[in-house]
Amino acid sequence: MASEDRAAAGVTREEGSLGHQRIAFTVMVVLFVLAPFVFYPVFLMKALTFALFACAFNLLIGFGGLLSFGHAMFLGTAGYVCAHAAKEWGFNPEFAILFGTGASALLGIVTGLLAIRRQGIYFAMITLALAQMIFFFYVQTPFTKGEDGIQAVPRGMLFGAIDLSRPLAMYFFVLVIFLAGFLLIYRIIHSPFGQVLKAIRENEPRAISLGYRTDQYKLLAFVLSATLAGLAGATKALVFQLASLTDVHWTMSGEVVLMTLLGGLGTVFGPVVGAFIIITMENYLAALGQWVTVIQGAIFVACVLAFRRGIIGELGHWLKKPL
Amino acid sequence: MLQKRSALLAVSLAFAAGAAQAQISDGVIKIGVLNDMSGLYADLTGPGSVVAARLAVEDFGAAKKGMKVEIVSADHQNKPDVGSAIARTWYDTDKVDVIVDVPTSSVALAVSQITKDKGKAFLVSGAATSDLTGKACSPNTIHWTYDTWMLANGTGNAIVKTGGDTWFFITADYAFGHALERDTEAVVLKTGGKVLGKVRHPLSTQDFSSFLLQAQASKAKIIGLANAGGDTINSIKQAAEFGIVKAGQNLAGMLVFLPDIHALGLQTAQGLIFTETFYWDLNDNTRAFTKRFSAQAPRNLYPSMIHAGVYSAVIHYLKAIEAIKSDDGTKVIAQMKKMPTDDPLFGKGSIRADGRKLHPAYLVEVKKPSESKGPWDYYKVRNTLPADQAFRPVAEGDCPLVK
C-alpha cells in the first residue's frame, strides 16, 4: 500500500471527534436487528460471521500493517474444534465456541512466534506455508472426516435454556457475538496499544528507536486477530452445523483479503461492508457456478485500479471523516 | 336468517377450499435437482439428471392430472458446505418439496440430515455410500439406484471367483471411497482373497502416477479403483500409459458408468468388469427412453444409471403424492415405501423399510472394439443378480429404523 493511503485512514484525522462513528454504529445495529425479519436468517448469519472474520483480519493488516495469507487456518481450526466439542463431547454451544476460539488463540501464538520475525512478502509466505501445513493435517487426521467434514453438529441449548435450533434465536446469538467482537476490535484500535500498532505500521525502525519492543506488539496483534478469526470460525460451524475443508483452504485466506480490500483497508466499518458484498454475490450468483470466482477477480481488479481505499475508505475520504 | 346462513356457508366453503389447497403446499410440487453441474461427475449426473426429471414429470402426465410440478436445479460443486447451504435455502425460502440425485456421498449425507430435520423428502440416485441405508438411514430418504455394498458384492465376487485373489486399493479419500473400499474388502476377504495394501487420493486428482506406482510395486493381481467419474477415467488412462495391464496386473473399476466408458474409448476400457443397475440396451423400453433422453441431453449423451434412477424415483414420488394427495415429505416417503414400484426402466420393484430401493443388478463386461456394432454399444451383460441378492440384507445394515 502506498503511504498516501495510510495517511488517508491514518493516525492524524482519527484523533478528531468520533461522534459520527457512534452514529454509524447505531445505524448498523438497528439494521442488523431488523434484517432477519426481511432477509433469510441463515444468509445473514453467514454474512455476520464473515464480517467478524474480515474485521479480525483487518485488525492485523489495516492497523498492524501485517498481510497474513493464512488466516483460514484460524477460521477452520476453531470450526473443527468447536464442531468436535459440540458433537462428540456434548459441550454446550457457548463452551464449544470458547473452546474453538481458544484453540485458534493457541495456534495464533505458535504460528505468530514464527511469522512475525519477517516482514512484507516473507511474512505473507510464512503464514501461507503454515496454513498449508495445517490444511494437510486436517485432510489426513481422522477426527475431521476428510472431505466429508464434521456434519450434523448440534446447535444445542444456549446456557442450557435457549434453543438455538430456532432461526431467530440463533441469529441474535450470532449478532451478539459479532457485536462483541466488533466492539472489542474498536476498543483495541483506539487504545494506546492500538496507537503504538499504527506507529509500527507507519515506521517500524522509528518505533523501535522510541523504545517500543515492536515484536511483542506485533505478536499480540497477531494473536488477537487469530483469536477473533477463531471466534468467527467457531460460530460459523454452529450456524451451518458443519465444519469442512473449505474453511481451511487457502482460497478462504484470499477471500478475506478481498473482503477487507473491497470494504476499505484500515477502516472500522469497511470489512463489514466488504464481507456483506462478497457473501451476497456468492449467494445470489451461485447459479453461475465457477464464474463467481471470475467476477470476484474482476471486482478486485476494478477496486484496486479505481478506488484503492475501498468503498468505506472512499466514502470516509469524501466525507472527510474516518469511518 | 337466510343471509346469515349463506354467509356461514360461504365461510365454511372457503375453509374447506383452504384445507384442500393446504394438502399440496402452495399448490406446486417443487423438485430440486442438486448435483455436480460442472465438475468431475457432471457427465454422470449434472444437466442429464434435470432432463431425466423432466421426462419423468412428462410421462407421469402431471399436467393432465392437474398437478403443477416445477423443477429447479443447482450445482453443489461436490462440497458438503455448498450443498448443505443450497439445501437449507431451498427448503426454507424456495419451497422445494423434494431434493433428488445428489452425487458425492459426503454431500448426500449432509443433505439427508437437513431433509430429516425439515421433514422433507430426499431421493438419492447419484450418491453411493451404503451408509445412507445403514447407520445414517433416515425416514425421509430413499436410496434409489445403487450403493457401495451392491458394487462390491457384484464386482468383487465375480473377480475373486475368476482368480483375482490379491488386491490393492486406490481409494478416493471421502465418505464414498471409504465405504466402497470397506465393502469391497469385506467381500474379498469373505471369498478367500487377500488385500495387500491401499492408498488414498484426494477427490478430483489429476496425477495418479505415485498411487499407480505403489499399486504396481505391491504386485497385487487386482488393482481396485474405489473412486468414480473423472478420477476413475484418469486412473485407467494413466494405468494404460504405465503399461500396468500389459504387465499382468488387472484393473477393477468398482464404480464405472456408461459415460466414463464413452470418455475412455473401447480401446482403453475393453475387458473391464463392473456392476450397473441400468443399461440403455436392455429392452425396448430402455431403448425408447434413451432415444428421448439423448435428444435433450448435452452433447447427446446416453443415460447413465444415475439418470435412469432419477427418472424412476421422480415417477414413483409423483405416484405417491397422487395416492395420498399430500406433499408432506415424511408422509410421501412412507407411502412410497408402501407401494410397489413399477416403471419402464427398472421394471417392478419395491422399497424396503430402511429406504433401500430393490431391483436387479447386472454384471457387465466392456466389449472389444471389434465386437461393438455401433456408437454406445459397449457392454456385454455377463450375469444378472436378482433384486433379493443384489443388495445388502436389512439385518446387516445397522439401520436404526428397522431395529
Q: What is the pLDDT of residue B2?
A: 47
pLDDT in tens, A199-232: 999 999 999 999 999 999 999 999 999 999 999 9
Residues on chain B touching A147 (C-beta within 8 angstroms): 80, 106, 173-175, 202-203
User: Is B1 within a domain?
Assistant: no
Confidence band of A13 (pLDDT split at 50, 70, 90): very low
Crossing angle between the packed helical segments A167-189 and A19-34, to the nearest 10 degrees: 170
Q: Which of B106, B117, B201 to mutate to test the interface with A (most CBs of A within 10 A)?
A: B106
User: Is B66 within a domain?
Assistant: yes
> Is residue B381 domain-shared with residue B267, that is, in the same domain?
yes
Confidence band of B24 (pLDDT split at 50, 70, 90): confident
> Is residue B138 domain-shared with residue B155, that is, in the same domain?
no
> Is residue B267 domain-shared with residue B157, that is, in the same domain?
yes
Q: What is the pLDDT of residue A184?
A: 96
> Is residue B42 domain-shared with residue B101, that is, in the same domain?
yes
pLDDT in tens, B234-243: 999 999 888 8
pTM for this one?
A: 0.83
Residues A149, B106: C-beta atoms closer than 8 Å: yes
pLDDT in tens, A66-88: 999 999 999 999 999 999 999 99
> Is residue B349 domain-shared with residue B369, that is, in the same domain?
no
Confirm if B34 and B48 have CB atoms less than 8 A apart: no
User: Is B64 within a domain?
Assistant: yes
For A282-298, what is the mean pLDDT? 76
Q: What is the pLDDT of residue A7?
A: 44
Closest-CA distance of chain A to residue B50, Å: 15
Domain positions in chain A: 3-319
Please state, in angstroms and rounded to a whole number, the distance separating the CA atoms of residues B4 and B19: 23
CA pseudo-torsion sign B337, B338, B342, B346: positive
Residues A286, B86: C-beta atoms closer than 8 Å: yes
The top-level CATH class assigned to A3-319 is: mainly alpha
Residue A237 in grid coordinates: 460451524
Residues on chain A touching B109 (C-beta within 8 angstroms): 148, 151
Identify the residue whose cell numbers are 434453543: A163
Residues A148, B79: C-beta atoms closer than 8 Å: no
Q: Is A72 helix (H, G, I), strand (E, B) or coil?
A: helix
Chain A CB within 8 Å of residue B106 CB:
yes
Q: What is the pLDDT of residue A17?
A: 57
The DSSP symbol for A158 reads E
Closest-CA distance of chain B to residue A48, Å: 15
pLDDT in tens, B167-198: 999 999 888 899 899 999 999 999 989 999 99
Closest-CA distance of chain A to residue B277, Å: 26
CATH number at residue B96: 3.40.50.2300
Please state, in angstroms and rounded to a whole number, the distance separating the CA atoms of residues B161 and A94: 56
Structurally, chain B folds into a number of domains equal to 2
> Is residue B67 domain-shared with residue B122, that is, in the same domain?
yes
Q: What is the pLDDT of residue B288?
A: 95
Chain A CB within 8 Å of residue B173 CB:
yes
Q: What is the span of the domain harbouring residue B369?
A: 149-276+361-385
Residues on chain B touching A241 (C-beta within 8 angstroms): 84, 113
Nearest chain B residue to A149, by CA: B80
Residue A188 in grid coordinates: 483495541
Q: What is the pLDDT of residue A114?
A: 93
> Is residue B246 domain-shared with residue B314, that is, in the same domain?
no
Q: What percent of chain A has pLDDT over 70?
A: 93
> Is residue B293 domain-shared with residue B265, that is, in the same domain?
no
Q: What is the pLDDT of residue A10?
A: 44
For residue B147, which of B352, B301, B293, B285 has the smallest C-alpha distance?
B352
User: Is B322 within a domain?
Assistant: yes
> Is residue B264 domain-shared with residue B336, that is, in the same domain?
no
pLDDT in tens, B119-141: 999 999 999 999 999 999 999 99
Q: Which residues contact B78 (CB under 8 A, 6 or more apart)?
A: B36, B39, B40, B41, B103, B104, B106, B107, B203, B204
pLDDT in tens, B251-305: 988 999 999 999 999 988 988 889 999 999 999 999 999 999 999 998 999 999 9
Confirm if B297 and B289 have CB atoms less than 8 A apart: no
> Is residue B184 domain-shared with residue B325, that is, in the same domain?
no
User: Is B10 within a domain?
Assistant: no
Mean residue pLDDT of chain B comes to 89
Residues B80, A290: C-beta atoms closer than 8 Å: no
pLDDT in tens, A229-265: 999 999 999 999 999 988 999 989 999 999 999 999 8
